[in-house]
Amino acid sequence: MENFNYIPAILSGDRVLLQRMYAGLFPAIRQMVNDHVGTEEDAKDIFQDAVIVIYEMAKKPGFQLTSKFSTLFYGIGRNLWMSRRQKRSNSEVTILDHAKYIPDESQNIDLLEVERGKLFYKTLRLLGEDCQKLLQLFFQKQSMDEIAQEMGFASEGYARRRKSQCKDRLVELIKKDAVFPELQTA
């Protein structure tokens, strides 16, 4: 696995660096999942879930990377996979000796938050490209004036109205998803 800090790429959605991250880190995740009776699809899901976990961790104030990014990523992926396997089999999970080191940041993973994040990003992709871009700019804390300029809107006021419409549509789609009630009450 390569040693590069992809956190800025995850936070900004830099597609080029995210593709590089996938190429560099996915083989290890796939191998780990395959070694523990998983499929290629399982490995892809775990990879995506690990990205969401890191995104959520990195957004928290005071977050600092205290290990190699690849170590953190692999540890999170491993925890997610073992948790998923345990849910499937309802049995004890044995951690192999060679994989006992997992960085501190990954030990407090809130799996409910991971599932909520998955629902959010899955639903966000259902919106049109303009709404996706507008909301991403908003989540990156750009001012409404900057968003209006970047999106080519005539005014900041229109940008605000458009953001509100996109946000309302996103909330509506999330609430219509079959897993929403389960994630809301958990």
Q: How many domains does the chain have?
A: 2
Mean of the pLDDT values across residues 23-34? 91
- For residue 157, being part of any structural domain is answered with yes
Q: Do residues 80 and 161 share a domain? A: no
Q: Across residues 94-103, what is the average pLDDT?
A: 44
pLDDT tens per residue across span 104-113: 444 445 566 7
Q: Is residue 152 part of a domain?
A: yes
**Is the domain of 59 the same as that of 83?**
yes
- Which structural domain range is residue 42 located in? 7-109
Which of 109, 129, 157 is where one domain is finished?
A: 109
Distant-in-sequence, close-in-space partners of 185: CB < 8 Å, separation ≥ 6: none
Indicate the burial class of 72 (C-beta count within 10 angstroms; 0-12, 13-18, 19 or more).
Answer: buried
Domain contains 140: yes
**pLDDT tens, position by position, 76-98:** 998 888 888 877 664 444 444 44
Last residue within a domain, chosen from 53, 86, 109: 109
